[in-house]
Structure 1
């Protein structure tokens, strides 16, 4: 039939394509499998150094500022007009040097008045003592008069009994006796009060003497002087100004007590504290303005101030203090005791604060080391000083910073001399 023949002709190409596809899949499924390409492990090129543990003397570079626990603002203790100001800001003055003089006229007049009051009070004491002696003499006389009036009264009564005297005479004798008794009683009371009056007079002497001494002190305070070698920071007054009690005159600090407060890296705090506890003197040096400065570590600060990252070390200046102004930035190099078994490494060998990598069989092995400080060679190159009990002579440390540094990383090392690491 014509329709069946046409349908067969159309299906033959489709059947051929299906058969070809099935054959391709069968061949692919039953054919040999090619091995996957091998992935080669990457080898990182790094620089390395050969370590040589030895005894080294480390240092620490610290940054701090000068300060003084004896910074003082000298203020006026008396009121008056400024007469003279020899002091100048920045000037170094010797002990007892005149800084400011206040006109002493007013305080001198006050002293003269207080001294006059003292003389008056002392005279009052002498008067009380003389009065006490006079009262004692007068009492003896008045007591004698009392005895006379008593006898006179007895005679008047006797005469009246014998009708030789009158009642009026007896009354007069009685009145004289009572008057004598009143006089004696008054004198005795005066004598009894003499110690109190003398004590009051002597108290007035002490009071006026204290006032006079205060006036003398005020007179001395018209001259403001340095109590020890000091450097002037500010001068607040000029001649002709009038100052009141408490007004600021000058600000200064004592040169003998100048300190440098420097922030200490946290990793070194325990070691430094141990050295201080052992009374080991630690010295530091600095160059400030081309001048040599030496300082001795005195203590660790008891608090962390605002703006400080950690504990501060406080150094006392032992040489060159007269050249240092207050709040001057100072770069100190602190010398530490020798450390045995220590290793000098470039900073490129340090990962973080205290980690290095040793090369063992072509792979990196991490070690956490003890940071001991810094070492500076004769060429001025500064490097880190570390220590680890497993580091031995001849070990190789990586001296290249790798961003993907991990234990087991395969590396190829190019050994360099330590001096080539800069």
Structure 2
């Protein structure tokens, strides 16, 4: 059988492929087509609010820490051993209540020693005063004896001239007179130096009295008393431990003098200063265990903190609360003086911090705003406080939060 030529074998596959392509193109060209439909624009259901421009009171949210105006650390003024510990951390104590007892032994001995020295000096002073009176009285007698001695000398001289007395008798009379003069001089010197001796004794008395007072003071410091009504926060030493002078013993604070300290940015300080000048104090609140507790701004620091560009505010709690503890961190909401031409909006109405959407003719329109913080609504809820020259009372704003919000988006109001 005759085989096909090489040319035919080469051309046949090409013809077959070309035939398939032509059929495919024909089928595409003859494919039935469907008429295109117009796409209907989607309408989004949203919530809205009609705004009102009026004065609102801004609420500033701050982070505060509970401190005490009376926060005391008691240190030891003596070296001694702890004999008894009467309280524990967390205990409430009253003023002058015993907290610790330190060993009194050596301090009692020092008090006894100095008391004995003082008693001795008192006796010496009393003796010196009595001796002064005695010397004054004896001086008169010594002078009388001198007169007698002098008269004896005169008689002895007369008798010697009349050869009725010997010269030795005259010498004895003169010697007695001289001895009496010496006795008078010594007595007078004792009287004259009496004030000096008294001054010396009184100086010693004061020195020992001071030592006694210090010893008694040290003895009193062996009984560690609470200087305030408060709560014990730390006890540094336990029973039988040795205490050195200056060592910390007990720390406690007055739970009725609690304050809240919070740092506020510098931009709010002028408004706060104006508010305090008008109202003397500003009000706020903290939330603890889902309950609000009123606080009052009492004073502010006169210093700007360089690292934080702010200043510290000090709040007092309007009512005592046993659940508020020293060192606790609380969020403070401070109500500032009202700002005019402001708008309160729900928190979901703001996009970022610089814009909201107004609804005009069922279309969204982005409007730039100035965010001023928060404010408290009539229902007790927090709202964002804004200001914008592009808004007017009666404008309707978007209050729904959804990702598709953009200029020109068609919406319909759900709450109409």
- TM-score (normalizing by structure 2): 0.74
How far did residue 373 of structure 1 move? Answer: 4.2
Query: 1:18-417 maps to which residues of 2 (within 5 A)?
Result: 49-289=49-289, 293-304=293-304, 308=308, 310-320=310-320, 322-337=322-337, 341-347=341-347, 366=368, 371=372, 373-376=374-377, 378=379, 381-386=381-386, 392-395=392-395
**SS of residue paired to 1:87:** coil
**SS of residue paired to 2:136:** helix
Distance in structure 2 (CA, Å) of the matches to 1:280 and 1:101: 47
Question: Where do 5+ consecutive residues of structure 1 fail to align?
Answer: 1-45, 403-408
Question: Where do 5+ consecutive residues of structure 2 fail to align?
Answer: 1-45
1:210-246 deviation per Cα after TM superposition (whole angstroms, max 9, x unaligned): 3333333222211112111222221111111121222
Q: Which moved more, 1:119-128 or 1:160-169?
A: 160-169
Q: Which moved more, 1:156-165 or 1:254-263?
A: 156-165
Q: Which moved more, 1:186-195 or 1:106-115?
A: 106-115
1:92-120 deviation per Cα after TM superposition (whole angstroms, max 9, x unaligned): 22222221111223322322222222222
**SS of residue paired to 1:385:** strand
Distance in structure 1 (CA, Å) of the matches to 2:315 and 2:198: 61
How many residues are aligned here?
369
Q: Which moved more, 1:233-242 or 1:113-122?
A: 113-122
Contact 2:357 2:365 (8 Å CA) reproduced? no
1:132-158 deviation per Cα after TM superposition (whole angstroms, max 9, x unaligned): 111111111111112222222222233
Q: Which moved more, 1:298-307 or 1:264-273?
A: 298-307
**SS of residue paired to 2:193:** helix
Give RMSD over aligned pairs: 3.8
**SS of residue paired to 1:144:** helix
Contact 1:61 1:331 (8 Å CA) reproduced? yes
Residues 109, 218 of structure 1: CA spacing in aligned structure 2 closer, same or farther, 3 A cutoff?
same
Distance in structure 2 (CA, Å) of the matches to 1:212 and 1:59: 62
How far did residue 392 of structure 1 move? Answer: 4.1
- TM-score (normalizing by structure 1): 0.73
Contact 1:356 1:368 (8 Å CA) reproduced? no
**SS of residue paired to 1:311:** strand
Q: Which moved more, 1:157-166 or 1:60-69?
A: 157-166
Match of 2:24 in 1: none
Distance in structure 2 (CA, Å) of the matches to 1:292 and 1:410: 40
Residues 279, 138 of structure 1: CA spacing in aligned structure 2 closer, same or farther, 3 A cutoff?
farther
Residues 266, 166 of structure 1: CA spacing in aligned structure 2 closer, same or farther, 3 A cutoff?
same
Q: Which moved more, 1:359-368 or 1:153-162?
A: 359-368
Distance in structure 1 (CA, Å) of the matches to 2:353 and 2:156: 124
How far did residue 344 of structure 1 move? Answer: 0.5
How far did residue 249 of structure 1 move? Answer: 1.1
